[in-house]
Amino acid sequence: MKKPHVSIAPMLDWTDRHCRFFHRLISPHAILFTEMVTTGAIIHGNKDRHLAFSQQEHPVVLQLGGSDPATLATCAKIATEDYGYDEVNLNCGCPSDRVQNGVFGACLMNEPDKVARCIEAMNKSISVPVTVKCRIGIDDCEERPFLDRFIQTVMNAGCGEFTIHARKAWLKGLSPKENREVPPLRYDIAAEIKQKYPQLKIILNGGLCSIGQIQEQLQIFDGVMIGREAYQNPWILAEIECRIFEDNRNVSRYDIIERLIPYMEEQMASGVPLKSMARHILGLFHEQRGGKKWRQVISQESHLEGMRPDDLLNRAAAATQQDWKLAA
């Protein structure tokens, strides 16, 4: 039986390597994405800072931001040959001003022929899959013909997998946050693409925040991508493991804490601040008794000089358990 496809979205400033390691502890099966990394950051910046990751994170996908075919091909080769990424994804969906100024992200949907050249160049340089993440349209376009032309053009260049965020991107007038919330979700338009191009792997993204929704959309699409829900309520990944992947491991939040401690200690020994890792685990007890205490201890004490991972996490865990005892 084919394993379901569930991925965790690339989220700028959130899905760094420490976040991904944490998510992998909870979910052995989800596909993890990096934050979007620009080609300029790889070519001119610290490659290890942007590309290094823990081997436990596999399968892990690098999302690239860029629009020059040759540069994208070079970066894709570095990422796969030097660092071992399992897939390279081209960002054609981010609407931020910074991305627009660089002429990539969502504005690339206006130039499907250019995207096609980018895909062709990357496919020639690497052997792992090259995929695309896009919106259903931009600005005041008519979504159906606009998206269809984009998909068909890029498909013909050799892209067999698209993650479709089922909202328009408004390049002017809406902030990136508003672009995630204001344009209406149109799962039906993404579903029409899947129906018209059954040979393509179509992954649905946007507004998925419950197991019921995920199960429903997996009947229509080849997979789903979970965004902010996975970050703010990471234990949904444990529910996905149980109910979507039928993995009945009996793992508790406290088991995850125990497995985080040695990772954090190792990273601190190499110079990573504790607070840079601890910020990703604030939601571990989301909507649980003791969750507020957990967040308070983590957020207030992770930056303290001399604080060690075992002290911080054990203190925070003890605070959640104290809440349970008081309630009892």
Residue 206 is assigned to a ligand binding site: yes
Q: What are the tokens at 243?
A: 């109910």
Q: Of 19, 75, 92, 94, which is the active-site residue?
A: 94
Measured distance CA(302)–CA(277) in Å, rounded:
9
Residue 10 is assigned to a ligand binding site: yes
Measured distance CA(320)–CA(318) in Å, rounded:
5
For 130, phi then psi, to 5°, come to: -115, 120
Q: What number of other Cβ atoms are within 10 A of residue 128's Cβ?
A: 19
Q: What are the tokens at 248?
A: 């009945």
Instruction: Enumerate the β-bridge partners of residue 169.
Output: 138
Residue 227 is assigned to a ligand binding site: yes
Residue 12 is assigned to a ligand binding site: yes
Residue 212 is assigned to a ligand binding site: no
Measured distance CA(75)–CA(69) in Å, rounded:
10
DSSP 283: T
Residue 11 is assigned to a ligand binding site: yes
Residue 228 is assigned to a ligand binding site: yes
Greatest Cα pair distance in the chain? 63
Place of tokens 């129906």: 195
Residue 321 is assigned to a ligand binding site: no
Catalytic, 94? Answer yes
| Residues recognised as catalytic | 94
| Binding site members | 10-12, 63, 133, 165, 205-207, 227-228
Residues of the binding site for FMN:
10-12, 63, 133, 165, 205-207, 227-228
